[in-house]
Chains A and B, each alone.
Chain A
Amino acid sequence: MSQPIVPQKTYLIVFLCLIGLTILTTGVAFIDLGPLNTVVALAIAFSKMLLVILFFMGVRHSSGLIRIILVAGFFWLALLIAFTMSDYRTRSWTPAPDSWSSTAPPTHP
């Protein structure tokens, strides 16, 4: 783990960016963007995560192996969510016979 020593100023700047993004995401919550609220909130969270990973956790200087492992972890989680979601989202595609009601949930924004 012999990584280069990062200057304190860098950490401070990253911290201030993180604060800024937190204030931003809180502020955006008070504006009605419809479905975009979720998208923006997740995008900001994602950016904050990247800042922490790259700078606080030192992945900026990490070996390729560690980066692959990290990407793999998130990719696997994405697989879990995507495949499971695909079941719920497509249940309503199959029309149910007249004799019983569909168990599919109503569509949402």
Chain B
Amino acid sequence: MSTATLEPRVHAPRNYLNADYGWKSWLFTLDHKRIALLYMVSVTFFFIIGGSFAVLMRIHLVEPQGALVQPETYNKLFTLHGVVMIFFFLIPSIPAVLGNFLVPLMVGARDLAFPKLNLLSWYIYIVGGLFTLYSAIAGGVDTGWTFYTPYSSTYSNTQVTAVAIGVFITGFSSILTGLNFIVTIHKMRAPGLTWFRMPLFLWAMYATSIIMVLGTPVLAITIFLLALEHLFHVGIFSPALGGDPLLFQHLFWFYSHPAVYIMILPAMGVVSEIFACFARKRIFGYKIVAFSSVAIAVLGFLVWGHHMFVTGQSVYAGLIFSLLSFLVAIPSAIKVFNWTATLYKGSISYEAPMLYAMGFIGLFTMGGLTGLFLASLATDVHLNGTYFIVAHFHYIMVGGAVMGYLGGIHFWWPKISGRKYPNMWAGIAAVIIFIGFNLTFFPQFILGYLGMPRRYAFYPAEFQVLNVMSSAGATVLGVGYLIPLIYLIWSMRYGPIAEPNPWGATGLEWKTASPPPTENFAEIPVVREEAYAYAPEEAAGD
């Protein structure tokens, strides 16, 4: 395969985007970078779908008796919003888009370990997505994304089986991606790239992949059992036939709690990269941050019972889960302290990626701290099932994970597309998103504290002001999300051409062209420096 002899600027140099044309070259590609783009388009599509359900919900909740839909429909809206956002946007987003694109580049390899499995992952994701879309169109599902039994297995007459098949199938996409990353990081690092010279994004991907590989299969078998019970009415989760609904919850949350770490760890990895670059400084406490990522992945498997404090679980098991939930907060907090310490005496600039990363720190911290109220048995009794929980997880998943995703997209956009976007609009959008987000979800903390239940299509009239505020915020947030969609697409055609390393960042991905050639590097690089080797005077105060 020929590499970069720069031709005169009549055409762009050969890169992965123009290496081949036609839909077949995209749909049958084995290039991890093209597969990443396939994912980028797909997750954006599902984000719009899931977001539309949210828009409908927030419009509906403007009035205490509901302004838009029947309660049965409202139940379907929040269920599908959850299913689509979690399984088809959040879980794949950073790993399948940024991870797929960057992991081989960051380790200095030509592709992932198993390129065909990578493409298969995407097709599996699409098939799963189609089943879920079918279930939405064919009448929807009203069980909540948590599919609690016996309602989902015995009593609901909605499209439970279809959405179960969709989620089951998509799980394997996640598993294969994680498997690919683990093997790539173990076996394909460039000469000189030791574990502790890797960028922290790779540590984050590695920790995330461990969760994907160990947790997702349990979700698969749980959903499989749920579908069997829904179809054959056998009753392993149904009390009427001797089953225990709590068993479903145990099996479901064994995956679904670690799943939230699948969603946040990659965003933390992105934030590490952005902070180092835009403070021109090595991440403070590199090894601690690396180990914390793995610690979060491991500890995250031991806390699932905190979702079941009030559903009938033994109080002694609850005590253990509560204690462990407090413990898992520690490595996350350690990371926040380390990121903050990175800024100290750094040379900070405020481009869009940095704005998203800084927003992440504040919002993730709030989300994480409010989690402690929920981890505490006594307060959880009051806050469970209220909007406090809704606000808590949206702070982490939207204020955290989505901001991390957007920050990563903006940071690596020049590398991915070979173009730069207008900084001013990017900054404006980041601020609008931050404001809109807080306006949407902060009132929900108060609503939850005051007792407004979640998953209800109507509420007491005294909560209306806060609900209207939240819906107004959602409008602002929606506008904020539209802006990057517009200028990023615009930039692909009209944006200024990006140089190989427009941010002056460290990392192997910046040492090749923007966009990279299909084979990533003309020659496999040899690594001789530590991660984040920003200039010594900039690294003062480490």
* B contacts with A, residue count (CB < 8 A): 20
Interface residues of A in 40-73 (CB under 8 A from B): 65, 72-73
The minimal Cβ–Cβ distance linking A84 to chain B, given in whole angstroms, is: 5
B186 near A65 (CB under 8 angstroms)? yes
A91 near B214 (CB under 8 angstroms)? no
- List, in ascending order, chain B residues with CB within 8 A of A89's CB: 314
Interface residues on A, range: 10 to 19
The answer to whether the Cβ of A80 comes within 8 Å of any Cβ in the partner chain is: yes
**In the complex, what residue of chain B is closest to A73 when comparing beta carbons?**
B214
A93 near B305 (CB under 8 angstroms)? no
A79 near B302 (CB under 8 angstroms)? yes
Interface residues of B in 491-508 (CB under 8 A from A): none
Q: Given that A73-B214, A76-B214, A80-B254 are known contacts, is A90 also in contact with B302, CB under 8 Å in the complex?
A: no
The answer to whether the Cβ of A32 comes within 8 Å of any Cβ in the partner chain is: no
The answer to whether the Cβ of B172 comes within 8 Å of any Cβ in the partner chain is: no
- List, in ascending order, chain B residues with CB within 8 A of A86's CB: 314, 316-317, 320
The answer to whether the Cβ of B329 comes within 8 Å of any Cβ in the partner chain is: no
Q: Across the A-B interface, how many residue pairs have beta carbons closer than 8 Å?
A: 44
Quick one: CB contact mask for B295-335 with A, threshold 8 Å, 1 for yes?
Answer: 00000011011000000111111001100000000000000
A91 near B302 (CB under 8 angstroms)? no
The answer to whether the Cβ of B197 comes within 8 Å of any Cβ in the partner chain is: no
- List, in ascending order, chain B residues with CB within 8 A of A93's CB: 314, 316
The answer to whether the Cβ of B49 comes within 8 Å of any Cβ in the partner chain is: no
Instruction: State in angstroms the CA–CA spacing of A73 and B305 once bound together.
Output: 21
**In the complex, what residue of chain B is closest to A88 when comparing beta carbons?**
B314
Instruction: State in angstroms the CA–CA spacing of A72 and B321 once bound together.
Output: 21
The minimal Cβ–Cβ distance linking A79 to chain B, given in whole angstroms, is: 6
- List, in ascending order, chain A residues with CB within 8 A of B320's CB: 83, 86
The answer to whether the Cβ of B454 comes within 8 Å of any Cβ in the partner chain is: no
Most buried by A among B186, B250, B251: B250
The answer to whether the Cβ of A98 comes within 8 Å of any Cβ in the partner chain is: no
Quick one: CB contact mask for A86-109 with B, threshold 8 Å, 1 for yes?
Answer: 111111011000000001000000
Q: Which one of A65, A72, A76, A83 contacts B305 once the chains associate, using CB atoms below 8 Å?
A: A83
The answer to whether the Cβ of B38 comes within 8 Å of any Cβ in the partner chain is: no
The minimal Cβ–Cβ distance linking A15 to chain B, given in whole angstroms, is: 30
Main secondary structure of the interface of A (DSSP, over half): helix
B250 near A84 (CB under 8 angstroms)? yes
Instruction: State in angstroms the CA–CA spacing of A84 and B313 once bound together.
Output: 10
The minimal Cβ–Cβ distance linking B160 to chain A, given in whole angstroms, is: 23
- List, in ascending order, chain B residues with CB within 8 A of A79's CB: 301-302
B186 near A94 (CB under 8 angstroms)? no
Interface residues of B in 222-273 (CB under 8 A from A): 246-247, 250-251, 254
- List, in ascending order, chain B residues with CB within 8 A of A80's CB: 218, 254
Q: Which one of A65, A73, A87 contacts B313 once the chains associate, using CB atoms below 8 Å?
A: A87
B301 near A76 (CB under 8 angstroms)? yes
**In the complex, what residue of chain A is closest to B317 when comparing beta carbons?**
A87
B315 near A94 (CB under 8 angstroms)? yes
- List, in ascending order, chain A residues with CB within 8 A of B302's CB: 79, 83
Instruction: State in angstroms the CA–CA spacing of A44 and B246 once bound together.
Output: 32
Q: Which one of B218, B250, B301 contacts A87 once the chains associate, using CB atoms below 8 Å?
A: B250
Q: Which one of A72, A76, A87 contacts B246 once the chains associate, using CB atoms below 8 Å?
A: A87
The minimal Cβ–Cβ distance linking A106 to chain B, given in whole angstroms, is: 14
**In the complex, what residue of chain B is closest to A87 when comparing beta carbons?**
B317
Could you pull out 18 A-B pairs where Cβ atoms are within 8 angstroms? A72-B214, A73-B214, A76-B301, A79-B302, A80-B218, A83-B305, A83-B320, A83-B321, A87-B246, A87-B250, A87-B305, A87-B314, A90-B314, A90-B317, A91-B313, A91-B314, A94-B315, A103-B312
